[in-house]
Amino acid sequence: MIKIDNIKHFFEKNNKLLFYIAFSIYMVVTIIGVIFHEVWLDEAQAWLISQDLNFFQILQQMHHEGHLFVWYVLLMPLTKFNVPYPLPLQILNMLIMWIAVFILWKKAPFNPLIKLLITFSAPICFVYTILARCYSVGILLLFLLAAFYKDKFKMPYLYAFLIILCANTSLLCLIAASGFGILFVFEYISEKKDFYKSKEFYILCSIGIFGIVLVLYQILGALNVQDAFDSNLGRSTSPFYIINRITYAMFGLDFMLLKDKANIFIQNILLCSFYLIVSTVFFTKNKKALFYYLYTYSCFIFVLLCIYNGFYVHYYFFFIYFIISYWLFKLFDTNENKKNITYFIFNILLLMILFSLCLYNCKLYSKEINEKYSNTKALVQTLYKYKNENILICDLWGYSFVPYLRNQNMNPDSIYTGKPATFIDYTPDMAFNNYEIENIMTFVKDKYKNENVYLITQIWNEWEDFYSEDYTHKVLQCENGGFMEYPDMCIVELKSKK
């Protein structure tokens, strides 16, 4: 019978070889994922903001985004030189995650088997590598903060800068970075005698104050973003809502074996309770890890309940916070008796989580390759044929078409602004309002007079019974939304009768 200790010894003995094999496979798999991935609205939004605004305007725009500026500034060298969208965006995001995974293998105090499973888990291998969002750079910085945590006082200025930089990538990374910041401050005060007499202390205070002001300037306006979308997206305060999100993030939604709601409810409560109890008890053996775990989870739950419901890319930060907490635990783990019951149960839990998320990763890649992630790429090929015609975006989801069309020097108009479309300015007036056909036709008559127009809209079946004295209409193409519940979209041709 093969013993677990023998498996562990094998992986530790062949750590270097395993790294080369795993990292090579990870690169190949993610390249395939990028090739098949169809970028969608949120990825396009960051590109458009970076393309159309300068640095100070980007800081101002963050009031409406719910994110912070670092990712948008990183995109500026690409967007300002009008490189073809979207491959450079995807490659940049993928390279950032490659570096993050490299740091994980070289610096994380984990068994090689754990590193292998983390590498091919759904959050790391698919969600944050394939989807080109601001979270990749945040994860890279979090891994750096964890990797150099023990040496932070050897390079306090650099470490403080990394905390500030990480905090300015996204609200979720702000939570994680602030956890490191609080630990940094308390350890600095407790370990440095007469710290207030040193020049270093006041420089660090200046860095910290600058970082706090910069973050507050961006996020204070963003706290009301959800108000513009409540009527459509809703906001849940149900405890089961949080239980469901944690279970989804830690075990993979598609691997719930029970289908009826009552059994799913029981299953999620059992899984979530088992996870939270075991992990919390385990982390009590290290105060730093326990604080970080409870702090990040509490802040994230508060955000989900009180500010923004989130989407599946957000929920996986429960997993990221868990991994960082475990990283901090292992840095200071001096317990020689690792065969006690607490370690045993936690290791079972850890393997359950990682194997589940690796299986779910396979599911996501299968869907990405065999199905559309969104419908943008399929529809934009049709629009390229009408380069010299008027194109009108009648739905906010249609903004994902804009950077594609700009590749061909096409500038579609927006029904929301009456001007050439740019990024979405998330205000209550633009809260995913879907214009009815009558509103669209009134706008078309006023703006385009007797010219032909091609509409990008969610409305398609209603056109069958529509009649206009001024225009004939034809639905040229419709595409379903893809496996991530992207809305169905279509292109409607309006030809003037005059």
Q: Identify the CATH number of the domain in which residue 411 sits.
A: 3.40.50
Task: Give pLDDT, residue 235.
Answer: 52
* Residues 347 and 412 both lie in one domain: no
Q: Could you tell me which of 131, 150, 137, 133 has the C-alpha nearest to residue 100?
A: 137
Res 258: pLDDT: 46
176 lies in the same domain as 298? yes
User: For 321-348, how does the pLDDT look when each residue is reduced to its tens digit (9 = 90+)?
Assistant: 999 999 999 999 876 556 688 899 999 9
Cα separation of 367 and 485, whole Å? 13
Among the ranges 168-177, 212-221, 225-234, 446-455, which has the highest mean pLDDT value?
168-177
Rounded Cα distance between 75 and 89, Å, is 7
* Domain co-membership, 407 together with 470: yes
How confident is the model at residue 26, as a pLDDT? 98
Describe the strand order of the beta sheet including 453-457 as a list of residue ranges. Answer: 413-414, 390-393, 453-457, 489-496, 471-479
Contact between 188 and 156 (Cβ < 8 Å): yes
Burial class (CB in 10 A: 0-12, 13-18, 19+), 370: exposed
Query: Count of CB atoms within 10 A of residue 313's CB?
Result: 16
277 & 154 share domain: yes
**Helices within 371-449 (DSSP H only):** 376-383, 402-407, 437-448
Rounded to an integer, the average pLDDT of 33-41 is: 90
For the stretch 205-217, what's the b/e string if a residue is b when 16 or more beta carbons lie within 10 angstroms of its beta carbon? eebbeebeebbee
d(CA 485, CA 289) in angstroms, rounded, equals 37
349/395 same-domain check: no
Examine the domain organization and report whether 163 and 251 are in the same domain.
yes
* Mean pLDDT of the region 77-90: 94
461 CB-near residues (< 8 Å, 6+ apart) = none
Reading the block at residue 169, the tokens are 């990538």
Least confident of 72-86, 151-165, 298-312: 298-312
What is the mean pLDDT of the segment spanning 270-299? 95
Of 327, 351, 370, which residue is a domain's last?
Answer: 370
Same domain, 323 and 452: no
Same domain for 340 and 424: no
Beta bridge partners, 457, equal 490
Question: Where is average pLDDT lowest: 182-196, 380-394, 478-492?
Answer: 478-492
| Residue 142 near residue 177 (C-beta atoms within 8 A) | yes
Which of 370, 398, 424 is the last residue before a domain boundary?
370
What would the mean pLDDT of 212-217 be, rounded to a whole number? Answer: 92
Contacts of 188-193 with C-beta under 8 Å, sequence gap 24+, read 188/153, 188/156, 191/153
Average pLDDT score over residue span 245-269:
70
Q: What is the Cα–Cα distance from 78 to 84, expressed in whole angstroms?
A: 9
| pLDDT surpasses 90 at 165 | yes
Residues 354 and 381 reside in one and the same domain: no
Shared domain for 305 and 385, answered yes or no, is no
pLDDT confidence of residue 483:
60
Per-residue pLDDT at 438: 81
Residue 5: is its pLDDT beyond 90? no
The total number of structural domains in the chain stands at 2
Q: What is the pLDDT of residue 261?
A: 57
CA 214 – CA 342 distance, rounded (Å): 42
Given a cut of 60, is residue 279 above it in pLDDT?
yes
Q: What is the pTM of this model?
A: 0.91
pLDDT of residue 157: 95
Strands 390-393 and 453-457 turn out to be parallel
Same domain, 433 and 312: no
- State which residues form the domain around 463: 376-496
Task: Name the residue with higher pLDDT: 228 or 42.
Answer: 42
Check residues 32 and 439 and name the one with the higher pLDDT.
Answer: 32
Asked whether residue 353 falls in the same domain as residue 419, the answer is: no
Q: Which of 31-40, 143-152, 406-415, 470-479 has the lowest mean pLDDT?
A: 470-479
178, 122, 488, 487: which is closest to 312 by C-alpha? 122
Which of 355, 370, 385 lies at the terminal end of a domain, its last residue?
370
Are 70 and 406 within 8 A, CB to CB? no
Q: What share of the chain is helix, strand, coil (3-state, %, to 5)?
A: 70, 5, 25
